[in-house]
Amino acid sequence: MNKYWFLKVGLVVVCLCLTLWSEAKVKLPALVSDGMVLQHGQQLAVWGYADPGETISLTFLKKKYTSHADAKGCWKIDLPALKAGGPYTMSINEIQLKDILVGNVWLCSGQSNMELPVARVTDMFRDEISADSDYPMIRQFKVPLRYDFHAPQTDVPGASWKALTPENSMSFSALAYFFAKDLYAKTRIPVGIINSSVGGSPVEAWISEEGLKPFPMYLNEKHIYESDDLIATMRQEEGKKSHAWNVALYRGDAGLHESTPWYAADYDDAAWAQTDMFATEWASNEVGPVNGSHWFRKDIQVSGEQAGQKATLRLGCVVDADSVYVNGTFVGTVSYQYPPRIYSIPANLLKAGKNTITVRLISNGGYPHFVKEKPYKILFGAGQPEKGESEISLEGIWKYRLGTPMPTAPGQTFFQYKPVGLYNGMIAPLVNYAVTGVIWYQGESNVSRRNEYASLLTAMMADWRQNWHQPDMPFYIIELADFLSPDDKGGRAAWAAFRKVQAEVSDQNKNVTLIKNSDLGEWNDIHPLDKKTLGKRVSEAASQERGHNK
C-alpha cells in the first residue's frame, strides 16, 4: 500500500503569470498547439494567457466554450471527456489549431534509456525503421532540457508536436517509438507521447519541492543552487579549469606538434610499439590508469573494387573520446564514451592497396579502452547493392604511442541533476495536460544509493499523482537491464539489488507495474539496443491492465 496520503487541496492554479500581455491576443502554451493529441475519456483542460479580463471563446467539435482571463492574465477552459478520433480543428479567439487527435497520451520520462532516440538503435532495426515509420496517428512532444531552482515553470518554449513520419522518426524515443506502434496496432486509437527525459538524471531531480519534504538533505541541496550567481560562478570556474586542461593536453601532445603529425598518411610509425587494441598494458602503468592522449595507427589493404567507394568506419565505443583520421583526413570525433562511433569515409579517400587508419584516443579519467564485442570495421556497399557489400576488420594488432599523460580531467557540475530542478522545468509545465499514465525508465544514476530509492520513487509517484489530480494514475516502471562485465561481480550485484528495489516499489504501490527488462541487457553497453521487445512488453501490459484494447 502507498504510505503517502494525498493532501486535501484546492484547485491547482493553472498558470503563474508574471507578465501582463501588452496585446489582447491569446497566447497558448507549447503543449496546446497544432498536431496535439488530447487524452480521450477524461475531462480536459485547455489553458493559456491573455490580457486581464479578456474574453476567451473556444470552439471544438461544434461546441462553444467561453472563459475570461483573470487579473494575472491566465485563463482555463474545461472540456468534457471526448471519444477517440480526429484529426480535428479547434479555434481559440483568433487562433486556429489544426490536425488535433484524441487518443491515449503517455508521459515517458526518466534518463538516457528513455531519451535514447531511434537513430541509436538502427544497428538492430534499420530495415524496419526504414520501411515502417509512417504513422500520422502517433505523435511525440519532446520536452527540451530545462531546469529551475526558483519555482515551477508554466511552459516549455521551443517544443512542438511531431507526427511519426520517416522525416521525424530518428528523433523519437526508441522505446516510445516501438511502444506506440505496437499499441496503435492493437487499438487503432491515436497515441501521443510526451517525452520528458534527461540522460544521467537521478530520481530526486524529478520530484517537486513539496514532494521532497520527507528528504531534508535533498531540499537543502536544492536550496544551495537557488543562487543564480553561484551557478554562474561555478560554470565560469569549471570552464576555466576545463579549458586549461585541454590547453595543456594540446601543448603536451607530441602527435600534434612534430614536423609530420602522427595522423598524416606519410608519417613513419616504424618505431612505434605494437599492441592488441583490447589489451590493457597501454592503458595503465605502475601507478594506475594513464589519462591523456593515446595514438593508434593501423594499415589496411583495400581492394581495387573497394577503392574510391564511400564507406562507413565503425569504431565500436571508446572510453572516453576519440578523433579518427583516414589517410590523414579527419573523418569524425565523439567527445564522450557512450555513443557508437559511426564515421563516413567520403568517396575517393580510400585507394587500392595500403591505407592507414589513425585514432587519437583521449582519456579524461578512469581506464581508457576500446569496448569489447562492438563492431570495429570498415563497411563497403551499404545502399549500393550494385557495388557489392564487403568489409575490412579493424580488430587485432595496432601500432601504439602515448601522446602525453595527463592528470584526471577536472569535473563538471551537472546542475540539471540537482534536486527539484527537472521537476520545475520539465514536469510542472505538463501537469494541466491529461495523460493515460507514465512510463518510467530510470535508475542507473541511483544504483549506488539504492537503499533510499524505494522511498524516493514512491514519493515521486505520489507527487505526480497529486499534481495531476489523478490518485490512481498508472505507472509502468522499466526494470534496469543487465549490465557490466561478468568479472565485475560487485557491480553486477549492486544492479541486481537495485532491480529488487524496483520490484518492491511495484509490489507495495497500487497501479504500478514492473516491466521485465533484465534479459534484454548487454553487458558492454548501458544502452541496450532492443527497445522493440521492451516497447511491446509495455504495450502488452498497458493493453491488458488498462483496457486500452477495447
- Give the separation between CA 38 and CA 428, rounded to whole angstroms: 18
Question: In this structure, are 194 and 255 located in the same domain?
Answer: no
Cα angle 156, 466, 5; round to 5? 155
SS3 readout for 123-136: HHHHHHHHHCCCEE
| Residue 226 maps to a domain | no
Domain count, the chain: 2
Asked if residue 233 is part of any domain, the answer here is: no
Looking at the fold, whether 262 and 398 belong to one and the same domain comes out as yes
Instruction: Provide the pLDDT for residue 25.
Output: 87
Indicate if 143 and 287 belong to the same structural domain.
Answer: no
Q: What is the pLDDT of residue 544?
A: 85
Domain-embedded: residue 229 = no
Tell whether 258 and 397 lie within a shared domain.
Answer: yes
Same domain, 395 and 309: yes
Q: What per-residue confidence (pLDDT) applies to 384?
A: 59
285 lies in some domain: yes
Residue 449 lies in a domain: yes
pLDDT attached to residue 259: 97
Residues 498 and 449 in one domain: yes
Domain residues for 283?
250-406
Q: Is 493 found in the same domain as 400?
A: no
CA distances in angstroms from 137 to 15, 89, 141, 288, 311, listed in the order given: 29, 15, 13, 55, 36
230 belongs to a structural domain:
no
How far, in Å, CA of 88 to CA of 63, rounded? Answer: 13
Same domain, 437 and 400: no
pLDDT string in tens for the chain (550-residue length): 443 333 333 333 344 343 433 345 899 999 999 999 999 999 999 999 999 999 999 999 999 999 999 999 999 999 999 999 999 999 999 999 999 999 999 999 999 999 999 999 999 999 999 999 999 999 999 999 999 999 999 999 999 999 999 999 999 999 999 999 999 999 999 999 999 999 999 999 999 999 999 999 999 999 999 999 999 999 999 999 999 999 999 999 999 999 999 999 999 999 999 999 999 999 999 999 999 999 999 999 999 999 999 999 999 999 999 999 999 999 999 999 999 999 999 999 999 999 999 999 999 999 999 999 999 999 999 755 556 789 999 999 999 999 999 999 999 999 999 999 999 999 999 999 999 999 999 999 999 999 999 999 999 999 999 999 999 999 999 999 999 999 999 999 999 999 999 999 999 999 999 999 999 999 999 999 999 999 999 999 999 865 543 3
Nearest Cα neighbor of 509 from 541, 539, 474, 536 is: 474
| Grid coordinates belonging to 154 | 508554466
Predicted TM-score of the model (pTM) = 0.92
Q: Kindly state whether residues 317 and 384 are assigned to the same domain.
A: yes
**Is residue 272, in this structure, part of any structural domain at all?**
yes
Residues 198 and 292 in one domain: no
Q: Is residue 113 located within the same domain as residue 167?
A: yes
Q: Tell me, what's the pLDDT at 10?
A: 33
Any domain includes 360: yes
Which CATH number characterizes residue 311's domain?
2.60.120.260
Residues 399 and 450 in one domain: no
- Check if the beta carbon of residue 196 is closer than 8 Å to that of residue 107: yes
Residues sharing a CB contact under 8 Å with residue 305, sequence separation 6 or more, in sequence order: 387, 388, 390
Strands 95-110 and 191-197: parallel
Q: What is the CATH number of the domain that holds 188?
A: 3.40.50.1110
Q: What is the pLDDT of residue 241?
A: 98
Provide the phi-psi class of 168: left if phi over 0, else alpha when psi is between -120 and 50, else beta. alpha
